[in-house]
Copies of this chain bind each other. A is one copy, B any other.
Amino acid sequence: MTSRTARHRVLRVTVPAGPREQAAADPRADLLAVEEPLEIRVGGQPLAVTMRTPGHDIDLAAGFLATEGVIGSAADLSQIRMCDDNVADVSLAPGTVLPAEQLRRNFITTSACGVCGKESIDAIRVRARYDVSADQVTVAPAALAAMPDRLREAQRVFASTGGLHAAGIFTAAGDLLVLREDVGRHNAVDKVIGWAFQAGRLPLTGCVLLVSGRASFELTQKALMAGLPMLAAVSAPSSLAAELAEESGMTLVGFLRGSSMNVYSGTERLTTVSALS
């Protein structure tokens, strides 16, 4: 079985209390939740791709088909077998059919392109219009550390519902350009990038995307497609988010809380912090 966690080197950065002190940077190994695509096939035909943590993949395929109403009891299913680490092939029982029209519209797929993380990364890198690795912007750890509070202050709705994800685009100096909220975190990110598109601001050179939750592969991909050199998340990144950021030359910051943060890639963009070696 593929592991559910992956080790990733990380630089733990703590913002100094006084303005003249240097930020403390402590290299360490961090455990990330593994994210890999699973392709669900029915009768050999690809039906859906979902980004998931490996493990219990047959349960995942069965639950997906059951909650979509395709199978209701054991009699509807012939077998599910893994034909690869990341491919579950489902054989329906004779008489059980996929409601073809419904499927095209209803089924969840993600932006994953391959059937392994590496292929997903390669496919995204081919499609990206901008090379964020060339972006030489630098950001002070103290400016980064101040961003979550600014985002929260700007979230008028959050306080009253507790149910919205937020995304914000900041300048390297820490000014908030745009904030959007949504029940879906990918939607909040699409909204801030769509704002930038409409304002003629793509690529978002020199800017930081801050998200209120976790950093997934999908959000990292969206940041890359918009030419953002830095993605910062209040919570943890996934393994595939960290890999995509690293291979693209994007700076990925996680656990941005209080006066500290974990930097998973692109440490050279943090001022007064030495690169991971």
Q: List 23 A-B contacts (CB under 8 A).
A: A5-B161, A35-B183, A46-B105, A49-B105, A51-B183, A52-B182, A52-B183, A52-B184, A56-B180, A58-B194, A60-B187, A60-B190, A61-B194, A63-B190, A63-B195, A66-B197, A66-B202, A66-B225, A104-B104, A108-B109, A108-B186, A163-B214, A163-B235
The distance from the CB of A182 to the nearest CB of chain B, in whole angstroms, is 5
Q: How far is the CA of A76 from the CA of B157 in the complex (A)?
A: 33
Given contacts A109-B105, A181-B4, A198-B59, contact A164 B66 (CB under 8 A): no
A interface residues, how many (CB within 8 angstroms): 79
Q: Which of A193-247 contact B (CB under 8 A)?
A: 193-198, 200, 202, 214, 216, 221-222, 225-226, 235-238
A152 CB to nearest chain B CB (Å): 16
Give every chain B residue within 8 A of A71 (Cβ-Cβ): 197
Candidate in A59, A72, A193, A225 with the most chain B CB atoms within 10 angstroms = A59
**Any B CB within 8 A of the CB of A95:** no
A162 touches B226 (CB 8 A): no
Q: Are A127 and B69 in contact, CB atoms less than 8 angstroms apart?
A: yes
Cβ–Cβ contact A33 & B238, under 8 A: no
A31 CA / B187 CA spacing, docked (Å): 20
B106 lies within 8 A of A181 (CB):
no
Q: How far is the CB of A223 from chain B (nearest CB, A)?
A: 8
Q: If the complex has contacts A60-B194, A202-B72, are A5 and B157 also in contact, measured as CB distance less than 8 A?
A: yes
Closest chain-B Cβ to A4's Cβ sits at a distance in Å of 6
B194 touches A66 (CB 8 A): yes
Task: State A192–B55 Cα separation when bound (angstroms).
Answer: 12
Q: How many copies does the complex hold?
A: 2
Determine if A53 and B195 form an interchain contact, defined as CB atoms under 8 angstroms apart: no
- Which of A56, A73, A111 has most B Cβ within 10 Å? A56
Roughly how many angstroms separate A31 CA and B235 CA in the complex, as a whole number? 25
- Candidate in A52, A181, A236 with the most chain B CB atoms within 10 angstroms: A52
Quick check: is A189 within 8 A (CB to CB) of the other chain? Answer: yes
Tell whether, in the assembled complex, residue B62 and residue A194 are in contact, meaning their CB atoms are under 8 Å apart: yes
Chain B residues, CB < 8 A from A128: 69
CA distance A198 to B61 in the complex (A): 11
Contact assessment for B104 and A164 in the assembled complex, using a CB-CB cutoff below 8 Å: no
**Closest B residue, CB atoms, query A124:** B69
